């Protein structure tokens, strides 16, 4: 097992002997064997132990065992005690989730000197996770169970069964403690372990190796699926800052539009039912909006437009003096007319006659019925018509701000200035106002 373990680590981690590992050790068989293996393979590691104080004196005995283990191995030791029940009550979590949040938050604090946090999940844990995900409902990703390696996490025991690990502990005389809470069916995972797995093993005594092989195959299939899905998504999408455009025409031509759209939107908080509603809207007129907790999808004429909610603040802002614009995402410079303006086309820059501004100025979102006189044109125009002419999509239109003086629009910020406020032969001084950030 030692050589298998060493080879497996070296396959998972390039230059494994040069890395630093933070081992999370509870004092149970799996994590105690893991620490023994790291020590005997000569890897550079430290040990971290969480005392959740869920089993009274037994929890303290676990902590003493792990503390002594670190001392015997001559490695750095980190220890943290938690009032898990109080944290659970304050945050309204299950006991499992409360303990998980506490430990991973702490690991993040002490992780700075290490390349990986290492946990002792084994092949049985992987099989149980597969079954749990199946019962809760999952896609292909959930069937791949526990990832063996992420950017900062490593789980090198996933190819060893619980029985193998305990036999090895007995052979080597590795001390560990049994957690009595593992025998309680109050936890969903324990129900799977204690009631479901034994029944399945009656059907196939080699159940855990079979699960391990199937999960490995599913991981390979999922990687292939992701590569193909990424190719499809890249042909549909265009990113513009925080905004994402999805071509409706190309989406319709996909073999399975619902699946593709779900893969695009799932990480933005949209579920399969909401994706179906968005697809139904494709045959309807533009303007329909859909919301998750953090994102919005707007159905425009040619695109579905995805963006974070509240890209801009909505309240009206009063500008008592010109310098007040500095705090709202603008720079302001004043020049005499003897210094000629640089009229390089840039919709983020406004040149305006100083005397034509009447304070206080107002910065607000545009409203239905707003009109202005577009720079370089004669007569006024409704903003809604201007947006159509300029092909401004629904989401962009929603976020347009206008700078007003005495109830007249001076500037559609980032789009077009008003001809009434332009520099002319009577101008003595002018402002160059540039928009550079979120309002």
Average pLDDT over residues 138-166: 91
Between 286 and 191, whose confidence is greater?
Answer: 191
Which range has the worst mean pLDDT, 27-36, 81-90, 303-312?
Answer: 303-312
- Residues 366-374: contacts with CB under 8 Å, at least 24 apart: 366/397, 366/400, 366/401, 366/402, 366/412, 370/402, 370/409, 371/409, 372/402, 372/408, 372/409, 372/412, 372/416, 372/418, 373/418, 373/419, 373/420, 374/416, 374/418, 374/419
- Whole-angstrom Cα distance, residue 320 to residue 249? 48
**Angle between the N-to-C axes of helices 257-265 and 272-280, in degrees from 0 to 180, rounded to the nearest 10:** 120
- Whole-angstrom Cα distance, residue 65 to residue 79? 12
Position 312 confidence tier, pLDDT thresholds 50, 70, 90:
very low
Which range has the worst mean pLDDT, 304-308, 309-313, 416-420?
Answer: 309-313
pLDDT score, position 272: 86
- Whole-angstrom Cα distance, residue 128 to residue 239? 39
pLDDT score, position 308: 85
Domain ranges of the chain: 2-219, 241-308, 317-435
pLDDT score, position 395: 65
- Whole-angstrom Cα distance, residue 198 to residue 188? 15
Q: Is 145 left (phi over 0), alpha (psi -120 to 50) or beta?
A: left
- Strands (DSSP E) contained in 101-236 are 116-118, 153-154
- Is it the case that residue 335 has pLDDT exceeding 50? yes
Average pLDDT over residues 155-181: 92
- Give me the residue label for tokens 């809760």: 136
**Tokens standing for residue 431:** 């402002």
- Whole-angstrom Cα distance, residue 111 to residue 105? 10
- Whole-angstrom Cα distance, residue 210 to residue 229? 28
Q: Is 56 left (phi over 0), alpha (psi -120 to 50) or beta?
A: left
- Whole-angstrom Cα distance, residue 423 to residue 418? 11
Q: Closest by alpha carbon to 409, among 370, 351, 356, 367?
A: 370
- The CATH code for residues 2-219 is 3.40.50.620
- Is it the case that residue 374 has pLDDT exceeding 80? yes
Average pLDDT over residues 76-97: 90
Contacting residues for 36 by C-beta, under 8 A, at least 6 apart:
172, 174
- Is it the case that residue 135 has pLDDT exceeding 60? yes
Q: Percent helix, strand, coil in the chain (nearest 5)?
A: 45, 20, 35
pLDDT score, position 190: 84
Average pLDDT over residues 67-89: 94
24-43 pLDDT tens trace? 999 999 999 999 999 999 99
**Angle between the N-to-C axes of helices 29-40 and 162-172, in degrees from 0 to 180, rounded to the nearest 10:** 60
Q: Closest by alpha carbon to 254, among 275, 224, 223?
A: 275
- Is it the case that residue 314 has pLDDT exceeding 80? no
Question: Does 2-219 match 317-435 in CATH topology?
Answer: no
Which range has the worst mean pLDDT, 94-98, 154-158, 292-296, 375-379?
Answer: 292-296
Position 329 confidence tier, pLDDT thresholds 50, 70, 90:
confident
Q: Is 74 helix (H, G, I), strand (E, B) or coil?
A: coil
Q: Is 331 left (phi over 0), alpha (psi -120 to 50) or beta?
A: beta
**Angle between the N-to-C axes of helices 207-236 and 257-265, in degrees from 0 to 180, rounded to the nearest 10:** 90
Peptide bond before residue 158 is cis, with ω within 30 degrees of 0: no
Other residues' Cβ atoms within 10 Å of the Cβ of residue 383 = 23
pLDDT score, position 398: 75
pLDDT score, position 337: 94
Q: Give, for 100, the enclosing helix (H) or strand (E).
A: helix 95-110
Most confident range (mean pLDDT) of 44-48, 142-146, 244-248, 394-398 is 44-48
CATH second-level architecture of 317-435? 3-Layer(bba) Sandwich (3.50)
- Is it the case that residue 139 has pLDDT exceeding 90? no
Chain-centre distance for alpha carbon 201: 38
Other residues' Cβ atoms within 10 Å of the Cβ of residue 271 = 11
CA dihedral 92, 95, 98, 102 (to 10 degrees): 150
The answer to whether the Cα torsion of 69, 71, 77, 82 is positive or negative is positive
Per the prediction, the chain carries an average pLDDT of 90
- Whole-angstrom Cα distance, residue 194 to residue 128? 10
Contacting residues for 87 by C-beta, under 8 A, at least 6 apart:
93, 98, 101, 102
Q: Closest by alpha carbon to 438, among 290, 293, 308, 292?
A: 308
**Tokens standing for residue 288:** 């329909």
pLDDT score, position 310: 59
pLDDT score, position 186: 65
CA dihedral 79, 82, 88, 94 (to 10 degrees): 40
């Amino acid at each position: 097992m030692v050589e298998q373990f060493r080879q497996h680590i070296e396959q998972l981690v390039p230059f494994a002997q040069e890395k630093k590992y933070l081992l999370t050790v509870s004092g149970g068989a799996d994590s105690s064997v893991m620490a023994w293996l790291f020590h005997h393979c000569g890897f550079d590691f430290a040990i971290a132990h969480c005392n959740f104080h869920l089993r009274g004196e037994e929890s303290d005995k676990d902590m003493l065992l792990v503390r002594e283990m670190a001392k015997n191995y001559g490695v750095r030791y980190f220890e943290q005690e938690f009032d898990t029940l109080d944290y659970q009550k304050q945050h309204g979590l299950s006991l499992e989730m409360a303990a998980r949040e506490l430990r991973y938050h702490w690991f993040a604090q002490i992780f700075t000197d290490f390349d990986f946090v290492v946990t002792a999940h084994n092949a049985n844990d992987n099989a149980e996770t597969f079954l749990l995900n199946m019962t809760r409902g999952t896609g292909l990703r959930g069937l791949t169970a526990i990832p063996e390696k992420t950017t900062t996490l490593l789980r090198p025991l996933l190819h060893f069964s619980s029985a193998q690990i305990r036999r090895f502990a007995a052979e080597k005389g590795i001390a560990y403690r049994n957690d009595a809470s593992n025998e309680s069916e109050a936890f969903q995972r324990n129900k799977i372990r204690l009631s479901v797995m034994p029944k399945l093993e009656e059907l196939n005594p080699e159940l855990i190796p079979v699960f391990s092989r199937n999960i490995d195959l599913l991981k390979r299939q999922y990687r292939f699926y992701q590569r193909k899905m990424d190719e499809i998504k890249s042909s549909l999408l265009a990113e513009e800052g925080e905004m994402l455009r999805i071509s409706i025409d190309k989406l319709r031509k996909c073999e399975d539009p619902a699946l593709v759209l779900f893969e695009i939107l799932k990480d933005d908080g949209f579920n399969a039912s909401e994706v179906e509603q968005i697809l139904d809207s494709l045959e309807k007129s533009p303007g329909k909006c859909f919301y998750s907790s953090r994102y919005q999808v707007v159905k425009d004429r040619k695109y579905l437009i995805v963006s974070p909610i509240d890209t801009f603040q909505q309240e009206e802002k009063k500008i008592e003096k010109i310098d007040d614009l500095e705090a709202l995402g603008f720079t302001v410079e004043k020049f005499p007319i003897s210094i000629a303006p640089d009229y390089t086309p840039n919709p983020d820059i406004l040149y305006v006659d100083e005397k034509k501004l009447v304070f206080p100025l107002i910065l607000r979102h545009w409203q239905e019925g707003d009109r202005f006189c577009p720079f370089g044109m004669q007569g006024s125009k409704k903003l809604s018509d201007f947006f159509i002419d300029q092909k401004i999509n629904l989401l962009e239109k929603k976020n347009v701000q206008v700078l007003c003086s005495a109830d007249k629009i001076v500037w559609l910020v980032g789009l077009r200035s008003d001809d009434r406020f332009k520099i002319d032969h009577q101008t003595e001084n002018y402002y160059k106002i540039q928009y550079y950030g979120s309002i």
